[in-house]
Amino acid sequence: MALRSAIQASGLSLDRIQYRLRARGVSISVTALSYWQSGRRRPERAESLAALGHLEDVLGVPTGSLIALLGPPRPRGRVNRESSRLTVEALWGNSEPVSHLLRRIDFTTDSALTKLSQHDRMEVAVDRGEKSVSVRQVFRAERDGADRTLMVYDLELPGRPFPEVTSGDNCRIGRVAHDPTAGLMAAEIMLDQPLSRGETTIVDYALHHPGPPYSRGDDAYCRKFTSPVREFVLELRFDPRALPVYLEQHTLDADDQVTNRKKLEVTADGKAHAVALDFGPGILCARWEWPD
């Protein structure tokens, strides 16, 4: 992709690019820059297109060269439709890799489950790499026969090793599919037994990254919700020997622009958390910064 090539040619890190854009009065998240360079998202709002012009100057590429590659804007119908449930692909700017991945697994009854609650806990190692993510979800069946849900995991930075997914209570892992080029994986989370309409269940599973050393992501954790959830709790566990100097929670809009920013506190023993009530559809993230 042209943007990725321009960033590599500049020799600048995404953090440094963000710093130079801020000096110009342009506020763009590192997550958004990462998505833009990977092609998973594209700038579409007026503010984003204006930022892209400044980005051309920062990277030293001809004026208009990046904007000219965008083509016509994407239709917005899926996001603005009356239904409160989005397709999984709708939460990715570049939906094609996700669509291809999902064809390799079965998630036919995922839409029959309403997610009432979600609790994620991410552990970050002393080397600043991602160690593990533990997930607990509470579901209610909206029709008879619901027997599986779907997990899609984004490495954010393709090229990192994939984590191993393991089951906990009330479930087992079905088929797992990987797309190394896109840095995506998907898995069937199979319920121990099919649910009848109105029944509830609690599902636990975990992602274990290989290490040590552990691979470092984009210093953020984002959870995508295709439908509203009553409660989302995100716990972060940092090694006390390596604490971030800044931590925040925020939401991302259709252009991956940061909204609803809120600073989070990290305790001396490395604990932090974020809570969202009646959230979604949408994307909620936590982002941290390390000392120089």
- Name every residue whose Cβ is closer than 8 Å to that of residue 287 and which is 6 or more positions away in sequence: 29, 30, 31, 219, 220, 247, 248, 249, 250
- Taking only the tens place, the pLDDT of each residue in 155-190 is 988 899 999 999 999 999 999 999 999 999 999 999
- Taking only the tens place, the pLDDT of each residue in 65-105 is 776 666 544 444 433 333 467 888 888 877 889 999 999 99
pTM assigned to the model: 0.72
Spatial separation of the C-alpha atoms in residues 185 and 101, rounded to whole Å: 7
**Which tokens belong to 29?**
């998240």
Residue identified by tokens 């080029």 is 181
In the chain, where the domains are located: 2-69, 83-289
Is residue 185 classed as helix, strand or coil in its secondary structure? strand
- What top-level class would CATH report for the domain 83-289? mainly beta
Q: Is residue 250 within 8 Å of 261, Cβ to Cβ?
A: yes
